[in-house]
Structure 1
Amino acid sequence: MNGIPLINGQEYSWGDIQCIIAGVVLVGIKGIEYSDEQEMEEIYGAGNRPVARGYGRISCTGKITLSEKEARAIQSSALDGRLQSIAPFDIVVSYIPTNGNKILHDKLRNCQFKKNSRAWNEGDISQEVELDLMVSHIEWGK
């Protein structure tokens, strides 16, 4: 052992994650990725070291990977059949551990799909559809 105590002994895993779009639990989800980043800049004054920091815009990105069937089900809700035409929606990513750890919810707000594409190759027996998201902001751990 490395001498570090084992605290509750279990991390969150993929099996603990539940994703909800517009109140519907996604069963065909294969992956989700999201982040936010803030512009930061050192501000200099007297001397050659920074005297303060300036903070600018926060930008968010997201990506969701779905089964072909799940992507088509979501796409069917668009009046013109385009994922990009679906009105902004929230995605709730819930971490629901089976061992009693704290339940956490990350909320991706005002999401829209940026593209819709498919790629098939000879021998494929299933399809994973990776969809880039536009996200206005993320509420972490709510």
Structure 2
Amino acid sequence: MPATPLINGINYSWANISWVMFGVPVVGITKISYKRKLKKDNNYGFGQHPISRGYGNYEYEGSVELYTDEWKRIIAASPDRDPLAIGPFDIQVVFQGSRLTTERDVLRSVEFMEDPLEASQGDSKLLVTIPLIIAAIER
């Protein structure tokens, strides 16, 4: 069976993502992860099978991995040099390219949850992973 050629065969890739914080693109980012989930439970009554389903809260979680020098710049711009003291802010994750439709996810009321550092002998680059608390994700 002959293969069907791709039409507009361009997908989003890491090169098409930018992360904007406080109106400034953050270039030292190497990974971003975020998700939302909705609590769902089966409800049981008579018998062994669910009789209904209950829905709870939306939950959001995420993290960002970046070079330590980028993190140090965020720390330097933080109140009292404490990134955990930065008030809630939005992060824009922009997907764009010359032949792609521009899309934007907005992480609302984000705060940093940790201020870590980890380094090992022989490391040629230092990265930190910062967990985020997120109030909402707009797609």
Q: If the length of structure 1 is used for normalisation, what is the TM-score? A: 0.87
Equivalent residue number for residue 128 of structure 1? 127
Identical aligned residues as a percent:
33
Q: 1:36: Cα distance to partner?
A: 0.6
Structure 1 runs, 4 residues or longer, greater than 3 Å off: 1-5, 43-52
1:109 is the counterpart of 2:108: yes
Q: Per-residue displacement from partner, 1:24-54 (whole Å, max 9, x unpaired)? A: 1011111100001110122345765444322
Check conservation: 1:29, 1:67, Cα contact below 8 A: yes
Q: 1:15 to 1:53 in 2, by over 3 A?
A: same
Aligned residues: 139
Q: Distance in 2 between the 1:102 and 1:131 partners? A: 29
Whole-Å separation in 1 of the counterparts to 2:72 and 2:79 = 13
Give, in angstroms, the shift of residue 102 of structure 1.
1.4
Give the whole-Å Cα distance in 2 for the aligned partners of 1:43 and 1:126: 50
CA 1:119–1:8: 2 relative to 1, 3 Å: same
Q: TM-score, normalised by structure 2?
A: 0.89
Counterpart of 2:71? Answer: 71
CA RMSD of aligned residues (A): 2.0
Question: Distance in 1 between the 2:59 and 2:94 partners?
Answer: 22
Q: Does 1:26 align with 2:32?
A: no
Note the residue ranges of structure 1 that are not aligned, 5 or more in a row. none
